Structure 1
Amino acid sequence: MKIKNLAMVLVIEAVLCLLAACLAIPSANALSTGLSFPFAQIGGWLRTLSLSGGWGNIAAILVYSAVGLCPLLYFLWRLVKKKVKLEDCLLVVMSALLFIMMYLMVNPAFFTKHVSNGLEGLGQLITGFNAHIQLSGKAAWGISFYSVLFGCLILKLLRGVSSAGTIGVLDWIQRLLALIAAILVFSVFYLGVFGINTTIHEVKSANTHPDISLAATNAFIIIRNILRLAPVALSIGLVLLAIKLAEALK
């Protein structure tokens, strides 16, 4: 595995996560938002595109279909190449999950359709409750998809390790470490930055004296979170060094 190529991919991931975190609406539920990433964001974009007009609706349907078919097409490609294994059947499950999940992400009202019936008179209370239910529902579907995805990856890892020699095992170790590095980048540049934005937004909303500057408070929030995230960021470097070491052992 070429460490420079992996580093470039991680840099691109960091930039995309940073942009997504900065553009996301601040929320106290950073973990739930992270678990539904990027499906909730894609669903929101598809909803906006669908409501923009006839051509926008057609484009949204095409993108929705493409996203849902990706795992299934990969499964069919492996089937044609006669490379399919038992764990590849999870790709079909992932495709089905994507179709259902993305439909719900585009139409989040389905999460609260039955809950809200008969409670219209509660006004703001039911509105806030619906928002919480929608956020939790998106997170639950995100967890379901990622559980199947990681299950498939782990099964592939076990199959690869059991049938490979020393070099093959080192290759799989490098892939596992690369996945860990990608998760760490996501936790720092999306969850971390999103958490900073949310905290700053909450402090601003709670400020009862608009004439008082919050610059110092915001600076302390940023510094505190940078110090908290620094060990995680340094861990990315350690993972890259471990990948380099595995390459040297081949």
Structure 2
Amino acid sequence: MKAKNIRLIILVSMIVLLVLAAIGYLNGAVYSTFLAFPFQQIIMLVSFLSTKGVILNGIGIFVYLAVTLLPFVYLVDKVLKGRANVEDLLLILLSITIGYSLYVGLNPVSEHIQIDSKEFVIERYTVISMVNYWILISYLAIKLIRNVEKIDSNNSILYIQYLLAFVSLVIIVNIIGVELPNYIMQSKAMGDPNGNGLNIAFVFLSFLTRMVPSLLAVILIFRSFELNRKNIEVRIVRFAQRIKKLSRLFLMISFGVIGVHSFISVFFIDYVASKNMISMAQLASLIVIFAFYIISNTILKNKELEEESRLIV
């Protein structure tokens, strides 16, 4: 793989990391819920097991070590099989950062960080989780490009599915853990006893604005798993043709809903009250849908160039 591709991946992933940090700074609840997953849940599990006797404490230690060493064990397996590449060294760094994030989460003395004069407190392990995400996404993206360059490789679609399944999981967790509870609380808080339904309608549209891109992204992701390893090249082309049309349609729907909601929020509802209308799930979903469009369009363009070169020869 060309060095410029690796540099581009690292640059893009760093930009995404900074965007996540900026959004998280503005919305601490989304920041903690989204970026701490799944490490916060693992920390809670290990903490619970450590208080339930020697046997369960041992199981907790095993879970801690298993999660920490999983990337390293995968690297060792690849080295023994002679299939390791330079980017696989990122797995060592991933093991270190995962272990550190779990360690910090299990030691609450160093858990919190104070930022500026806003008294904005964030979790230290959430910051480390951001680094974990960056390493993991960079690794999967490098693997994806390396294998897409070989269109006949069975792994070309496999890493696409790994990367998108990971994003899908985070989106679903964000919908269930953040969007749905927020919608329920806002609906109760903005209920109008005089019967004026504008506030309720606005809250519902705000919820829909965040949900539509997320649900569409998840649908696209699960459609990608229709592929199997038979006639992989033909199926990739068919998949690209179908997904290009769907992603273009979904982008139009998503931006249409967002546009209507933005118009109502500016002209009919206090804009300050609706400043959180763009959520982490929505942003991630739009990025995923757009990525689907770019990937499918690139695959189709490459196939067209291949066909043209064959005709010339």
Is TM > 0.5 for Structure 1 vs Structure 2?
Answer: yes
Give the counterpart of 1:145 among 122, 132, 139. 132
- Give yes or no for the alignment of 1:191 onto 2:179: no
Match of 1:249 in 2: 237
Deviation at 1:186, TM superposition (A): 3.0
Match of 2:160 in 1: 176
CA distance in 2, matches of 1:235, 1:172: 20
CA deviations over 1:60-104 (Å, ceiling 9, x no partner)? 111111111111111111111111111111111111111111111
Match of 2:144 in 1: 157
Deviation at 1:199, TM superposition (A): 4.9
Cα distance change of structure 1 residues 230 and 185 upon mapping to structure 2, 3 Å threshold: farther
Match of 1:70 in 2: 70
Match of 2:96 in 1: 96
Give the 4+ runs in structure 1 shifted more than 6 A.
Answer: 216-220
Deviation at 1:159, TM superposition (A): 2.3
Q: How does 1:69-148 map to 2 (within 5 A)?
A: 69-112=69-112, 132-134=121-123, 137-148=124-135
Deviation at 1:28, TM superposition (A): 5.8
CA distance in 2, matches of 1:65, 1:175: 26
8 Å contact from structure 1 (residues 28, 198) kept in 2: no
Q: Which amino acid aligns with 2:30?
A: A
CA distance in 1, matches of 2:41, 2:72: 22
Aligned residues: 197
Give the counterpart of 1:225 among 180, 201, 207. 207
8 Å contact from structure 1 (residues 47, 106) kept in 2: yes
CA distance in 1, matches of 2:167, 2:236: 24
TM-score of the two chains, using structure 1 as the length reference: 0.63
Cα distance change of structure 1 residues 100 and 29 upon mapping to structure 2, 3 Å threshold: same
* Percent identical: 26
Cα distance change of structure 1 residues 235 and 94 upon mapping to structure 2, 3 Å threshold: closer
Cα distance change of structure 1 residues 132 and 52 upon mapping to structure 2, 3 Å threshold: farther
TM-score of the two chains, using structure 2 as the length reference: 0.52
Q: Which amino acid aligns with 1:52?
A: K
Q: Which amino acid aligns with 1:157?
A: L
The CA RMSD over aligned residues, in Å, is 3.6
CA distance in 2, matches of 1:70, 1:185: 19
8 Å contact from structure 2 (residues 143, 159) kept in 1: no
Deviation at 1:178, TM superposition (A): 5.8
Q: Greater shift after overlay, 100-109 or 143-152?
A: 100-109
Can you give the 5+ residue segments of structure 2 that lack an aligned partner in the other structure? Answer: 1-26, 228-233, 239-313
SS for the counterpart of 2:138 is: helix
8 Å contact from structure 1 (residues 35, 143) kept in 2: yes
Cα distance change of structure 1 residues 132 and 199 upon mapping to structure 2, 3 Å threshold: farther
Deviation at 1:182, TM superposition (A): 4.5
SS for the counterpart of 2:60 is: helix
